[in-house]
Every structure is written in C-alpha cells, then in structure tokens.
C-alpha cells in the first residue's frame, strides 16, 4: 500500500479521501481502498519522512493535503526499479479448485458459475476504467510529469487485467462445460 500511495502522490498531492476514492475507482482490484488501510499507510509514510501533510481549509472543513518528499521519491524509485517477481503472484482461489473433488457436484458447479460471474464483473470494471483512461487528455493534467508515459504503463496494467479476466472466464467456462457433461 505504501508504494502505491507514494506513486499516486508523485503524480499529484492529494488528501486521504482523494487517495481512497482514486484507489476505489481505479485500483480496487489491486488493493484495499478502506479508509483504515489508507490512513494507516499515510501515517507510516509521514512518520518515516517520505510524505508531508499540510493542513488546508475548504469552507469550514479542514483537510490534510499529502505530498511526497525527496526521500519518498527515492524510496519509490528504488522499489519501481526492482524486477517484478513472478513468485509473488498468487491466486489463492486455485486452492478451492484443487480441493473441489472433496465437494459435491452441485456445489462445484455453483462455485465455478459464481467465479465466472465474478470474473465477468471484474472484466466489466476494468473495461470501464479503460474507457475513462482513453478519454483523458494528458494536456489537461498538471505539468512536470511525462503523462503519456505514465498513462501508457497504466494502460498496460488495465489491458493485462482485462486479458487475464478473459483467460479465466474462458478456462473456467470450458471446465464448467466439461463437468456438466461428466460430473
């Protein structure tokens, strides 16, 4: 969560609520957008000197606007430069499939149908996010960041998610058809 917040704050200073809403609307499939997890991570980053918080007033409401420090940028850059680790990608739901033979045929089929439904919802969410990204105009974003490059790699992440969801939908649909023919 900390690296995600650092990356978002490099893009633009934000309040805790803005960070939470951005995660909810764009990254909820990657991590939690709960206020508790966002606030806990922000407190840790602030304590470590990786972000600063500045009080702002909007009408009668007081807000904290968070911004990344040079130490935060260095931490984020060091993390982002590390190779991605294939062994860190886990799909715990595969353990349910692994033990599906211990459940009844009806339960297995219902679980697989429900998983296909969930993956179709996930793909739909990602397609909506992709549509929002495609409507963005980098020229309207704050200067100082190579927005076309940032948006390019964010787009790759969305495309990966859509392709992965499509793969799972197809694979589990084939499995479902096989099990429906021969439980």
Instruction: Identify the DSSP state of 1.
Output: -
Instruction: Give the E-state strand segments of the chain in sequence order.
Output: 14-15, 51-58, 61-68
pLDDT single digits (tens) 7-19 = 889 888 888 888 8
Q: Which of 27-31, 37-41, 141-145 has the lowest mean pLDDT?
A: 27-31
Residue that wins the pLDDT comparison between 91 and 119 = 119
Taking the C-alpha atoms of residue 159 and residue 126, their distance in angstroms, rounded to an integer, is 8
pLDDT digits (tens, 9 = 90+) for 35-78: 678 889 999 999 999 999 998 877 788 888 999 999 999 998 88
Query: How much is the average pLDDT of 137-164?
Result: 82
Calculate mean pLDDT across residues 155-164: 90
Q: How many Cβ atoms from other residues are within 10 Å of residue 132's Cβ?
A: 11
CA distance 152 to 43: 30
The pLDDT tens digits of the residues spanning 89-103 come to 667 778 888 888 888
Per-residue confidence (pLDDT) for residue 31, from 0 to 100: 67
């Amino acid at each position: 969560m900390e690296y995600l917040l650092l990356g978002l704050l490099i893009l633009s200073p934000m309040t805790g609520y803005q960070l939470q809403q951005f995660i909810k609307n764009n990254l909820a499939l990657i991590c939690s957008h709960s206020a508790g997890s966002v606030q806990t991570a922000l407190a840790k980053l602030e304590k470590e000197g990786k972000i600063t918080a500045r009080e702002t007033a909007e009408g009668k409401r007081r807000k904290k606007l968070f911004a990344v420090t040079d130490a935060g940028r260095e931490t984020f850059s060091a993390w982002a430069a590390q190779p991605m680790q294939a062994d860190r990608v886990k799909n715990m739901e595969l353990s349910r499939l692994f033990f599906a033979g211990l459940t009844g045929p009806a339960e297995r089929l219902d679980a697989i149908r429900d998983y296909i439904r969930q993956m179709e919802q996930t793909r739909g969410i990602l397609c909506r996010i992709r549509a929002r990204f495609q409507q963005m105009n980098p020229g309207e974003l704050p200067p100082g960041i190579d927005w076309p490059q940032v948006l390019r790699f964010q787009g790759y992440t969305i495309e990966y998610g859509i392709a992965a969801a499509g793969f799972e939908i197809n694979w589990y649909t084939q499995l479902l058809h096989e099990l429906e023919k021969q439980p």
